[in-house]
Chain A
Amino acid sequence: MACHMTAGATPLMNAHDTPGDALVDHARLAHELEALHPHCFGWAMACCERQRDVAEDVLHDVYVKVLEGSARFDGRSTLKTWLFGVIRRTASSHGRRERLRAVLGMREVSRTDRPPAASPADEAERGDRVARTRHALTRLSARQRQVLELVFYHDLTIEEAAAIMNVSVGSARVHYHRAKARMATLLFGDRP
C-alpha cells in the first residue's frame, strides 16, 4: 500500500527552496484536500459507523496531519487512495482511544450546535430506504462494510479497496462477495 508517514520527496510536498515555495505547495495541497473533501467525508462516515461527529473529528485529524507534513504522500498511488488509507487508520486509532475513554469514564462533551436535519414528508420514503441501507450496513463486519462502501459508494476497484484496507486482493474479494450476498439478503430479502 502506498502510504507512508515518513519524510521524503513527494509530488505535492517537495523540498522547498524558499518559504514562498512552501506556501505555494501548502496552498496547493489544501486545494487538493478540499476537492477530495466530499469523498473523504463519505469514507470517514463509513469508517466511523456513520457517526457524524466522530467522522468530522477523524477528518480534522487527517487534514492536520497531511497539511503539517506528519503524513506524506509518496506518489505511489492516487492521492485519493492514499488519503483513504490515512483516514481508515486514523479512524481505527480514534476508535481505540474512545473505547479506552469509555472504560475510564472519560466522555467528550456532546455537541449540541447541530440540529437534526428536517425531513419533509415527500422525502419520507427516500429517508426510509437510506435508513434501511444504513441499518443493513451495521449488520456486516467492519471489513465487509468497508469493501462494499469502497466499491459501490466510491466506485473503486477491489484491488484499490484492498490497498486501502491493507489486506490482500484475495481477502478483499472474499469479503466483497460475502458482504454483497449478505447485503442483498438484508435489503431485498430472497428476491431482489
Chain B
Amino acid sequence: MTDPEREHLLMRAAFEQLKSEDARELPPFSDVLERRAPPARLTFGSPLLRIAAAGVVLAASVATYRAVVAREGRLEVPSDVVSLGAWRPVTDGLLPQTTLISATPGLGASMLDSLTTGALP
C-alpha cells in the first residue's frame, strides 16, 4: 500500500469516527422540527453599541447646553425698534421743513428767500 493510499484510509477512518460521534449526539427529528429559537435580546455587550450610545448621550448634552447658553446671552430688543416700518433716522429732528428738499432751488436764488416769502423761487 502506497503512502497516499494509506493516508486516504487514515483520513477516512478519522471522518468515520467523527461521523459516529455525531450519530451518538443526533437529536431526534421531531425535536429539531419543533424547535423554537430563543428570542434575541438587546444587551450592551457590544463595544460598538456602547460607543454609539455614549456618542448619542454626549451629542444630546452638547446640544442642550448650547441651546441654554444661547438663550441666556440673547439681547432683548423692543418690538417697535425691531420693526423696520416704524424706524426713523435720528437726524429727522434737524429737518423740520421737509419741503426744503422737495424742490430744486432756482439758479441765483437763496434758500432763505423761500423761508421769507413762503414760495420757492
Residues of A within 8 A of B (CB): 33-34, 37-38, 41-42, 45, 52, 56-57, 59-60, 63-64, 67, 101-109, 111, 117, 126-127, 129-130, 132-134, 148-149, 152-153, 180, 183-184, 187-188, 192
Q: Is B27 an interface residue (CB 8 A)?
A: yes
A47 to B25, CA, bound (A): 17
Which chain A positions have C-beta within 8 A of B35?
Answer: 56-57, 60
A148 to B3, CA, bound (A): 19
Which chain A positions have C-beta within 8 A of B41?
Answer: 106-109
Q: Can you list 14 A-B pairs with a CB-CB distance of less than 8 A?
A: A42-B22, A60-B32, A105-B42, A105-B46, A105-B49, A106-B40, A108-B38, A108-B39, A133-B14, A134-B18, A149-B15, A152-B14, A180-B8, A192-B6
Which chain A positions have C-beta within 8 A of B23?
Answer: 38, 42
Q: Is B118 an interface residue (CB 8 A)?
A: no
- The majority secondary structure among interface residues of chain B is helix
A82 to chain B minimum Cβ distance, whole angstroms, is: 18
A109 to B18, CA, bound (A): 28
Which chain B positions have C-beta within 8 A of A111?
Answer: 38
A37 to B24, CA, bound (A): 13
- Most chain A beta-carbon contacts within 10 A, residue among B3, B17, B21, B42: B21
A154 to chain B minimum Cβ distance, whole angstroms, is: 9
B43 to chain A minimum Cβ distance, whole angstroms, is: 5
A41 to B15, CA, bound (A): 15
CB-CB nearest in chain B for A129: B17
A117 to B40, CA, bound (A): 27
Q: Do A37 and B26 form a contact, CB below 8 Å, given A63-B32, A188-B10?
A: yes
Known: A45-B22, A101-B40, A105-B45. 7 other contacts (CB 8 A): A56-B27, A104-B46, A105-B46, A148-B15, A180-B11, A187-B14, A188-B7
CB-CB nearest in chain B for A133: B14
Pair B10/A192 contact, Cβ less than 8 Å: yes
A184 to B10, CA, bound (A): 9
CB-CB nearest in chain A for B27: A56
Which chain B positions have C-beta within 8 A of A64?
Answer: 33
B12 to chain A minimum Cβ distance, whole angstroms, is: 6
Pair B27/A109 contact, Cβ less than 8 Å: no
Which chain B positions have C-beta within 8 A of A56?
Answer: 27, 32, 35
Q: Is B48 an interface residue (CB 8 A)?
A: yes
Pair A52/B18 contact, Cβ less than 8 Å: no
